[in-house]
Amino acid sequence: MTIETAVVPPRSPRRFNIDWADILFRISVPILAMLAALLVGAVMLLLLDVNPFVAYAALLEGAFGSVSSITQSLVKATPLLLVGLGICIAFRASVINIGGEGQIILGALMATWFSLQFRTWPGWLLLPATIIMSFMAGAAWGFIPGILKARLRVNEILTTIMMNFIALQLMNLLLRGPLMDPESVSAGTFLAKSERLPEQVWLARLIPQTLLHTGMIFAVVLAVVVFIFLWRTTIGYRIRAVGLNPHAARYAGIKVPFYQALSLTLAGGFAGLAGSVEVIGVHHRLLEGITSGYGFSGIVAALFGGLHPLGTIPASYLFGSLLVGADKMQRAVQVPSALVDTIMGLVVLFVVGSAVLTRQWSARRLAAAAKGQEVK
The single residue among 75, 108, 110, 280 that binds another protein, judged by CB under 8 A, is 75
CB of 312 to another protein, least distance (A): 14
24, 209, 255, 305, 312 from 228: Cα distances, Å: 23, 35, 22, 17, 14
CB of 239 to another protein, least distance (A): 18
Report the DSSP beta bridge partners of residue 287. 193
Please, which residue, 58 or 230, has the CB nearer to another protein? 58
Rg (CA), the chain: 22
C-alpha 97: how far from chain center? 11
The single residue among 9, 13, 14, 64 that binds another protein, judged by CB under 8 A, is 64
The single residue among 3, 45, 50, 76 that binds another protein, judged by CB under 8 A, is 76
Counting contacts by CB under 8 A, is residue 9 touching another protein? no
Please, which residue, 48 or 370, has the CB nearer to another protein? 48
d(C-alpha 201, C-alpha 204), whole Å: 9
Q: Which stretch in 105-113, 217-225, 258-266, 291-299 sits in contact with another protein by CB under 8 A?
A: 291-299
From first CA to last CA, the distance across the chain in angstroms is 11
Please, which residue, 271 or 303, has the CB nearer to another protein? 303
Counting contacts by CB under 8 A, is residue 96 touching another protein? yes
- List the x/- string, 187-226, binding to another protein by CB under 8 A: xxxxxxx---------------xxx---------------
Please, which residue, 31 or 46, has the CB nearer to another protein? 31
CB of 228 to another protein, least distance (A): 25
Spatial neighbors of 58 by CB under 8 A, at least 6 apart, are 325, 328, 329, 331, 332, 333
Counting contacts by CB under 8 A, is residue 98 touching another protein? yes
- List the x/- string, 12-41, binding to another protein by CB under 8 A: ---------x--xx--x--xx--x------
d(C-alpha 39, C-alpha 52), whole Å: 9
Q: b/e for 216-254, b at 16 or more Cβ within 10 A? A: bebbbebbeebbebbeeeeebbbbbbbbbbbeebeeeeb
Counting contacts by CB under 8 A, is residue 95 touching another protein? no
Counting contacts by CB under 8 A, is residue 61 touching another protein? yes
CB of 210 to another protein, least distance (A): 8
The single residue among 57, 132, 244, 254 that binds another protein, judged by CB under 8 A, is 57
CB of 284 to another protein, least distance (A): 6
The single residue among 257, 283, 314, 362 that binds another protein, judged by CB under 8 A, is 283
CB of 317 to another protein, least distance (A): 15
Counting contacts by CB under 8 A, is residue 43 touching another protein? no
CB of 158 to another protein, least distance (A): 4
Please, which residue, 263 or 354, has the CB nearer to another protein? 354
Please, which residue, 117 or 337, has the CB nearer to another protein? 337
Site for another protein in 150-179 (CB under 8 A): 152-155, 157-159, 161-163, 165-166, 168-170, 172-173, 175-177
d(C-alpha 238, C-alpha 71), whole Å: 37
Site for another protein in 313-332 (CB under 8 A): 323-324, 327-328, 330-331
CB of 276 to another protein, least distance (A): 16
Q: What φ, ψ does residue 109 adopt, rounded to 5°?
A: -60, -45
